[in-house]
Amino acid sequence: VRFLLHTTLLTGQSPYFRAALTSSFLESITQSISLPDVSVDIFELLVGWLYSGAITPVPFKDGKPAYYTLLHLWVLADHLCFEGLRNAVVDCVAECADKTNSVLTPSDTCILYEVVPDTPSGDKVRELILDLFAFKKTDRLLRDHPDRWHAGFLRDLVVRLKKPCEQALLRHQLSMWCPESWNAARACEGCRVILSPRYGAVGCEECCLAWCVRTNTLGRSRGRGERKWESCKPWRGSRCRVYHEHEETDRCADVFMGR
């Protein structure tokens, strides 16, 4: 299958294509690159992201996210040096997991540990998947699934779960926080009161959620008398800081607690 793509899009996003199409290589003369081992379906997702900035359509099978497709897309993005697409795949996996309340299957974890390279970039993806399993209710899935989970995945998951008792119970690493300006202001996750500049609040260094002092002290939402703590989910608020790469692309705009 032949794809006719704008060269500037490729060279602007990928050092791989920049070197191949603008240097003394044969490809710069022919303006053509052959990728014989790449799946057409996966490459079409890359092209869609290249032109739209989004992974569309999000791959599903039998009503569930096709995480294996997203992992193969990440591997292709890594091979072709598309840092922006690697970050987009991370975002897509995190959002699919939240929206569909799902996680990877045992066969997906084999891709995660046998196909995704053992590099700092690959470690970012594994960090996300391990956090999804650690913080979501996955005990029955791990116990009852008929297929075998990858041994390396189970080892790393056990290590991830072996945390200090306080963190394991509270799931939040809290510290005092104060918005520096109205641009940094946000609503309390408990009572939804606006945490305005110079207003003392409490923020989680892992998931970047924030609460007013009253909610943090009482652990209750205003006027409801019910506990309003949500488990720490670092793939939401601090996704950029924990899982993204920004060696070649600009950092995301949402900055919390100075990061």
For residue range 176-227, what is the model confidence (pLDDT) as tens digits?
Answer: 888 888 888 888 877 888 998 877 888 887 777 788 888 777 654 443 444 4
pLDDT of residue 63: 93
The crossing angle, in degrees rounded to 10, of helices 106-114 and 120-135 is 160
Percent of the chain with pLDDT over 70: 87
- Please state the φ and ψ torsions of residue 224, each to the nearest 5 degrees: -110, -25
Query: Is residue 58 scored above 80 in pLDDT?
Result: yes
- For the chain, what is the radius of gyration of the CA atoms? 21
Give 124-133 pLDDT, tens digit per residue: 999 999 989 9
The pLDDT value given to residue 81: 96
- Model confidence at 231, pLDDT cuts 50, 70, 90, reads low
| Domain map (residue ranges) of the chain | 35-162, 165-259
Q: Is 0.85 surpassed by the pTM of this model?
A: no
Which among 232, 237, 236 has a CA at the least distance from the CA of 170?
A: 232
pLDDT at residue number 224: 46
Contacts of 89 (CB under 8 A, 6+ apart): 55, 70, 71, 73, 74, 77, 125
- Please write the tens of the pLDDT for every residue from 121-155: 999 999 999 989 988 878 888 888 999 999 999 99
d(Cα 220, Cα 232) in Å, to the nearest integer? 17
Predicted confidence at residue 170, as pLDDT, reads 52
DSSP letter for each residue of 74-123: HHHHHHTT-HHHHHHHHHHHHHHHHHHT----HHHHHHHHHTS-SSHHHH
Query: Which residues are bridge partners to 210 per DSSP?
Result: 203
CA dist 72 → 6, 41, 115, 236, 240 (Å): 23, 10, 8, 23, 21
The confidence score (pLDDT) of residue 187 equals 87
